[in-house]
Amino acid sequence: MKIIADGNIAHLSDFFNEHTLGRPIELIAMAGREIDAAVIDEHQPDILLVRSVTPVNKLLLDNNKSVKFVGSATIGIDHVDVEYLAKRGIIFAHAAGCSKHSVAQYVVAAIANLRPDYFFKPINLGIIGVGNIGNTLAQYAISYGWNVLGYDPLKPPSVVNNAKLETVLQESNVISFHVPLTHAHNSSYPTHHDYLMTQARWQTVSDTAIIINTSRGEVLGRDDIVASPNVCVLDVFEHEPNIDAELLKACSIVTPHIAGYTLEGKLRGTQFVYNALCKYLQVAPTVDFHTLMPAEVPLFQKVHNPLKDHERHQLLNKIPVMYDIKADDKRLRSVANANGDIEGKDFDNLRKNYPLRREWQSYVFKIW
C-alpha cells in the first residue's frame, strides 16, 4: 500500500508503517505545498495524508483512480472539497478538535502579553465561531472571570453562543476569530472578509479592542488590518505564506500559522487520522500517542477552576515559561528579507522546524 503524506504530520513514520497497519507500506513524505496532481499521477497512492496547505479537490484528483482514503491531520477542512470526495466514494477523515487547547492557549498568551491587567478585570471576550476551538476558549475565559460574547449562526444559542455579531464587534475588549473559511457559494453565512468582516463592520469595532485571528487568513482583509487603529495579532494571513512589510508593521504580534502547534495538538491530529485509517483498513490500532510524549514538568501543584486571585498572578508569571508568544513573533520577523517582507519559503521553514511546545495541562499536576 502506497501513502503520500505531508512530511509535517507529527511522528508520521511512527503511526504509518507495516507494523502499525498490518501490511507492506511505501510511505512517501514531502512538503505539503508540493503535493499536486503531477505528484499524484506519478506515484498513484492508495492513501493521501495532508495538512491545511494542500488543497484536496477535483484539480488534484480528477485524473486519479488510485486514492481511496484522504486524511487531514487538522481541525479545519476548508482546504478539502468534501462533497467531491463523497461523490468519488473516497473516504475522508480529519482531526476535529485535535488542537483546541493549543489554539485557545495561544489566544490567552497573546492577551497576557499585550494586556496583563485584563486578568484582573471582567473584560468582554468576543468569540466569533464557537465550535471546538471557540467553545474551548470560552471555558478558559470563564475560568478567568471574563464575560464571553459569542457569535456563531450555525450553532444553537447557549451560554457561550449568546450575542449578535454587532454586539460582539461593538462591546468586546478582545475579539478572537475561530471560523472556517467559507464563501457565498458554499455557506449561508460566508466568513471571507468580503462578507463577514467588511469595511463597514470594521468601523463598528472599538479602536481599543484587540483583534486576534487564528482561523484562516482571508477572514480578515490585509488592507483592512493595515488601515485599522486596532492592536492586531495574526497567526494566519490573507496572502499566506507571503507577508508584506506593511502588514508586519501594522501587527503587534505575528506568528507563522503555529497556534495549534503544540506537541499534544499535533500528535492528536495524527492519532485521529491513524485511527480512521485503521477503521477503513479493518485493523486494530496499535499506537497511542501518549506513549510518544516526553515526561510532564509540573509548574503548578494544583489550580482551581475558576482561578483564585493568587493563581492569576502565578499564571501571568508562568505563561511565558509555558509558551513565549513573543519568541515566535521574533522568529518570524527575523527572517524578513531586505525589503522587510516574509517570503513563503522562510514562512514554511519556520513551521517545519518549529520548536517543542507543550499544552499547559502538562504543567499542571491537578485541577480542582
Please list the active-site residues.
216, 240, 257
Q: Cα–Cα distances in Å, from 258 out to 52, 149, 213, 230, 234?
A: 12, 25, 12, 22, 10
Integer Rg of the chain from CA = 21
3-state secondary structure of 254: strand
DSSP 159: S
Q: How far apart are CA 272 and CA 94, in angstroms?
A: 7
Q: Cα–Cα distances in Å, from 79 out to 60, 166, 187?
A: 12, 29, 15
Backbone CA torsion sign across 131, 132, 135, 138? negative
What the block records as the C-alpha cell of 203 is 468601523
Nearest CA to 51 out of 254, 220, 257, 242 is that of: 257
Contact 18, 287 (CB under 8 A): no
- Tracing cell 463523497 back to the chain, one arrives at 86
Q: How far apart are CA 200 and CA 290, in angstroms?
A: 47
Sheet with 124-128, edge to edge strand ranges: 147-151, 124-128, 174-177, 210-213, 231-234, 253-254
Q: How far apart are CA 12 and CA 27, in angstroms?
A: 9
Backbone torsions φ then ψ of 202, nearest 5 degrees: -55, -35
Nearest CA to 197 out of 268, 108, 129 is that of: 129
Contacts of 331 (CB under 8 A, 6+ apart): 256, 350
- Tracing cell 508540493 back to the chain, one arrives at 34
Q: Cα–Cα distances in Å, from 55 out to 42, 193, 292?
A: 18, 20, 29
